[in-house]
Chains A and B, each alone.
Chain A
Amino acid sequence: MNGTLLFITILYTVVTVIGVGVYFVIIASTKKGKAEGGANAPIEKLERAEPMWAVFALVVVTVLFVATLGGVPWNNRAKADSTVDVKALQFAFVVQPATVKAGNVDFKVTSADVSHGFGLFDPDGKMVSQIQAVPGVTSTLSTKLEKAGRYKILCFEYCGVNHAQMIGQIEVTK
């Protein structure tokens, strides 16, 4: 699991436990509600809280938007130490050069036929990054490759019958 995926796992688990926990409290409260005939619920208070809740939701997504701007791939490119051309086609990746030195590597990805996906996995099998390979045009994926070894390229967009067998590779040296 790479860093972003680990972060997502933790974030999602925490937020979901809180949210579902609140709903369990609501469900449990109906036991008391039944005993009281539903007479003692703080309805006006909850109704007044609606605008505050809307503001809270907006603040959360705004914070999320600003905090993750730095992770938008096309806005954040380091100067490349080397460049690799990748041509995807049904059902293979043509990678040139086949070996590259560790560092900031730009992949220039294109497709000769249909849409493919360029999904890069490090020698430990962890996902590094991905980009769509669009037919007829070039797309640039900037990566920082630190580990030496054999990286695998998995096709990350369904492209036909042998999509699952479409695996390429690139060698990274120190």
Chain B
Amino acid sequence: MTTSHVLPAGTLPYDDSPRLDPATVARTESLVKRYWWTSTLFLLIAGLLGLVLRSYQAGLDDLPGNQTDAANLWYALMTAHGLGAFVAWAAFFLMGTLLWLLMRLGFPLRTYVFAEISYWAMVIGTLGIVVSTVFLGFAASWVALYPLPFHSAGQWTDTATFIFSFSVLLAGVSIIAWCVALIISVTGPAISGEQKTGWFGRLGLALGFGLMWPSRFKSDRETPYPIIPITVIGINMFFMTLPFALLLVLMIVQTIDSGFTTDPELAKNLLWAFGHPVVYLLLFPVVAALYYFIPRYAKRPLVFGKVVVLAWTIGMLANMFLWAHHMYMDYPDGSNQSFLNMTHEPITYLITLPSALSLFGLGATIYRSNFEWSPGSMFMVAGIIGWLSAGFQGVINATIQFNVAVHNTLWIVGHFHHMALLAMGMVIFGVFYAAAPTLLRRELHSQTMAKIHFWGMLIGGYGWVVCWLGQGLDGAPRRYDRLPDGFGWDIWTKLSIPFMLILAVAILVGIYNIWRTATGSPWRVKDPATAV
């Protein structure tokens, strides 16, 4: 192959990324690839655990030991699966991807220290989570359900609780370090150009205020839309990881001094203050990726006005005061929790605004465009539809009257798998297909495998999720290793197994395709963005 200055077909279409320094590109790309491959390895492990969990519920496999040992192992695997799939795969993959997106948008990392801390803290934290759950039997679920870690009914020790808490704390350190890296990058000189602007002014620009008030927030360059959700999640997670970190520290202290205890309701509030925003650690980067790629596939700028900027600011503020929608069923006599629950219901509704406007603007961008359909764009549009259909479930869950009926049922499990895999996971794979040729400088190994991956995930995924939704609407509770007889719930579990297998095969085909692409022979061409 000859050296040319233009990448061949299959690379990122219609790229208008600014001229980049080749050394920066090389360094960022190697860092991002590290995030990508490590998180994909975690997906394989977490996915395998998921298969074991659902098959056990269906009575298809057994876990070692007597009934009690098997049950505790099941709950331990559930704990590992939740953190593994959500944080160590999806969030971790997207955290890496955003570093790449930032670079492509002309906001490369200004220091690599925080990104390196973030990477290693997540890797070590994930290994610690595996050790404490799979090997030491810690099984209090990812939300810890304080004080459950200290009432293990003889199933795990305080040492296991210590290792678990410390490991999750490391994952928290990873998230905070990453937020710092993002904020430093978007508030750098690139956001305002030659205009003299203070740090807060540049932060305002990164939040898109220049699009609303161009005379107040001056810049040589219009803030690219993807920068807005990136900045929002950087700010949100920097602050909202702290309450959970505090709870983990309190738990660590209790493993050392058993007389030191925390109020269970306070603990639950601290956990959920992080537990809701962390969902957006997946969603907002996904939205940033959609803002970046969809206009490139549609060959036109995003169809957005100014309201979307305002919606993001509202969303950012709302995200910090809505956690109590996970605690609607907590209203002890004489406590203030019911008041908090009541106020967090309308605030939760407000966060539908950035979603509603994004779904509108993305749809408007695609509408009657000369849209390029390829594996990347197919996965992304399927992800948008997943976001829409799972988002409506979110509105139902946020409504107190409905929450009474669905709280802690398998409907919720269906909802977050729908959101995590069929909305955000679809976009994650879409990002891979869209970015891989540019990032890896290699052509996609197989278009056919990409199609199998796509349709398998769609058919298997929706069949699998609908079984949980139906089961939950039938009243079946979540977090049961095996559901009780006499309610007719098992039929749903059995029905979901073939769909789950289709889904698993599809994802394996996808990962194989990715691996073959990465190990194929590279193009000997330059990325136009770095060619001088």
Contact = CB atoms under 8 A, between A and B. Distances in A.
B522 interface: no
B399 interface: yes
Interface string A62-78: 10110010111110000
A154 interface: yes
A14 B384 CA distance: 18
B423 to A, nearest CB: 12
A33 B364 CA distance: 12
B396 A12 contact: yes
Contacts of A156: 329, 407-408, 477
Contacts, number: 247
B64 interface: no
A37 B404 contact: no
Contact of A161 (B153, B305, B401): B153
Interface residues of B, number: 86
A32 B367 CA distance: 10
A8 B299 contact: no
Contacts of A36: 368, 370
B333 interface: yes
B55 interface: no
B264 A68 contact: no
Given A12-B396, A65-B346, A164 B480 contact: yes
A26 B72 CA distance: 48
A44 B149 CA distance: 56
Contact of B484 (A74, A127, A164): A164
Nearest to B139: A161
A90 B151 contact: yes
Interface stretch (B91-99, B140-148, B162-170, B239-247): B140-148
A144 interface: no
A85 interface: no
Contact of A164 (B346, B349, B392, B483): B483
Nearest to B299: A38
Contact of B303 (A12, A40, A46, A157): A46
B404 A34 contact: no
A136 interface: yes
Contacts of B402: 4, 8, 68, 71
15 contacts: A1-B474, A5-B475, A23-B388, A41-B367, A54-B356, A58-B353, A65-B349, A71-B402, A114-B145, A115-B145, A125-B488, A127-B475, A130-B329, A139-B333, A160-B152
Of all A-B residue pairs in the complex, the 4 with the closest CB atoms, nearest first, are A71-B401, A38-B370, A61-B349, A127-B475
